[in-house]
Structure formats: structure tokens, C-alpha cells
Homo-oligomer: A and B are copies of this chain.
Amino acid sequence: MNGSRPVKATAPQTMSGALCPSPLPAGESVLLGHGSGGKLSAELIHEIFLPTFDNPALALLNDQAMVSVNGIRLAFTTDSFVVKPLFFPGGDIGSLAVHGTVNDLAMGGATPLFLSAAFILEEGLPLDTLRQISASLQEAARACGVAVVTGDTKVVEKGSGDGLFINTSGIGVVHHDLALSAGNARPGDKVLVSGPLGDHGIAILAQREGLALETAIQSDSAPLHNLVAALLATGASFRCFRDPTRGGLASTLNEIAAQSQVGIELQEHRVPVREQVRGACELLGLDPLYVANEGKLVAIVKAEDAETALGALREHPLGREAEIIGTVINGPAGRVTVRTTLGTARMLDMLSGDQLPRIC
């Protein structure tokens, strides 16, 4: 209980300069940006959590841990949900809590099996709200073919929470023998995205701020495990799957580029973004490449398999608008660039600050 820093500070070998900032100064406090999924989140992870919990499964920094029990390969993941508001176009905190955790398992190519659901309730929350959200959570779980097998409920005093927070953790089983990891991208690989970006973040923001957008934008919240299974069934050589949630596509690609020690170059005109989302982003001064998604995946695949992968994505209802958006290059390690239609290039850094707090 003294204030000294943890002593086991061995950083994993896969960390790059871009994701390994100078230590957080002592005396600092938690900022909203520490939950953004961007630079400040990475600082917390690299300065506090990785050195403290130092172990190989965690050090891979994937969306899920791969562990082995008596020879069975399991994926294990956890996510807390603090999204505000609780209900939004296209979903609610209950369905989101299922999709988020199912997708973290799916990004490891795992078949999701079991979920836990733990609720932190604020005194005064209407029980009808809890009923609705529990029913939505269960309906989403049923649709994914997973069972909520264990749970927990805590209550905090009025003013010490915000309605309700949900943690879901999940277990999946891994049948493939690919080594999927954000550290596996190689120069020449292609970058695919399963559909248009930014829907979730803009749907939440529009709801929260009461924006009267011309067309209501729905969250893309959806479970991706069947889409991943379809991709794996092609036999293509995938390097990794990621769902670009908090921090958006830009932060996800920065993580992959840093962990793989490669560059990534995007073709701007290839990156799908709905017109309404682009319009809302212009209105709000946001870049859709930094806005959260909850039903999209990024796949890194060996170049010769890119068209096969694209075909498999487009055959699936959740991948109809998939595109090959870029290439892994032998450029400066950790650098992501966007080549515009005019031929110029701009750097795409990780998200700084707290563009959209409490998006999931």
C-alpha cells in the first residue's frame, strides 16, 4: 500500500516507439481521454497495466487472450460498457454489451460460447429500465448462440454511478490454427474493411446531443463471429482481425502498424463512409476515421488472398459494402498514411484526447 511504482516493468518485445510513450508523470489524474481508445488509453496500458500484469497472453495486446486448458484453445475477453445514453438508434447498452464481447472473441477467430453479465446499478434506476436492458442483452445473446451463464449485481448510491454499467466477459473456443495477431502484418499485405465507418459513434453522438440529422443514423452494432467464420472458411492467409471500436479505424491501424513494426498506407477514396455520416462529421468537426464502429472488422490478409477475402466479405449480409482500403508497406514502423485522391499524403495518428467519451 505504498506509493511506489510496480517493480516488474519488463515491456513486451512487440511494443514500438509509437505506442511506448514517456512515462506518465507522478501526480497526474485520470482524464476522460484515458478511456478514448487512443493515445492516452495506450499510455495507461503501456505505463501501468502491461508492466504490472506482465504476462505473455496480455502482452500480445489482442482483443482477446488466447489460453490453453488441457490442450483446448480458449479465447477469453472482458469489456465494461458505460455508453451514454443507455438506448440509442440501432441498439442499447444490453445488445452492445453482447456484440462488443462476442466481437472481441470473434477477432481471434474463436467461436463464442459463454458470457458473464455483471451489472453496476445506480440507486434510483427504474427497474423497468433494467428489465428492458436485460431482455435486450438476452435477445442479443440468443441471436449469437451464446448463453449468459453467470452474473453479478452491485448497487451504488445515487450520484456514485450513472444509471447502469454492464461488464460482459466471454469464453470462446478456437478451432483454426492460424496465428492471428496485430503483430503479424507483413509488407505487401492488404487491408480490408467490412463496411462503412463511423455509424456507431455518430448515432450515439446525434442521440446524445439531440442533433436533428436529415436521416437518422443507426448504430452498426452487430455480432461478427459468423462473418469471421466465413472468412476463415476460405482458407485465405489472414494475419489478424480487429474491430475498430473506440478510436476508430485510425487507432486500430496505428496499433497494428506499431505492433507489427510496419507502415500502412490507405487509399482515401477506397474507405467507405456513408454520406450522412460524412455530413454529420463535417458538421461536428470530426474525422470519420476516428469515429467508433461496433459492427465492422478490419482484416489484414496476404496480398494474393485479398480478392478471395473481399469476395467472402461481400457475400455476407454484414460485409456487402466491404472494400480493400490499403496496403501494409515497408515504411517507417508504426506510421499510417492516407493517400488522397489528389495524390497527396497525410499522416493518420492515433486518436488524441477524448473526441467522443462514453461511446461504448
Contacts and interface: CB of A to CB of B under 8 A. Distances in A.
A296 interface: no
Contacts of A148: 53, 55, 58
Interface residues of A, number: 92
A151 B30 contact: no
Interface stretch (A11-19, A112-120, A178-186, A275-283): A112-120
Contact of A114 (B76, B79, B120): B76
A126 interface: yes
Contacts of A150: 57-58, 64-65, 76-78
Contact of A1 (B54, B57, B77, B92): B92
Q: A interface, by DSSP: helix, strand, loop or mixed? A: mixed
Nearest to A165: B120
A159 B156 contact: no
A155 B32 contact: yes
Interface stretch (A128-136, A235-243, A254-262): A128-136
A6 B135 contact: yes
Given A28-B127, A67-B149, A161-B161, A35 B155 contact: yes
A41 B134 contact: no
Contacts of A32: 123, 155, 157
A214 interface: no
Nearest to A142: B8
A70 interface: yes
Interface in A10-61: 24, 26-36, 41, 44-45, 48-49, 52-55, 57-58
A173 interface: yes
Contacts of A165: 120, 154, 156, 165
B76 A130 contact: no
A116 B153 contact: no
Contacts of A53: 117, 134, 137-138, 141, 147-148, 151
A167 interface: yes
Contacts of A52: 131, 134-135, 137-138
A338 to B, nearest CB: 28
A45 to B, nearest CB: 8
16 contacts: A2-B132, A8-B138, A29-B126, A32-B155, A48-B134, A58-B147, A58-B149, A67-B113, A69-B74, A70-B173, A72-B72, A76-B150, A76-B171, A82-B154, A118-B167, A157-B358
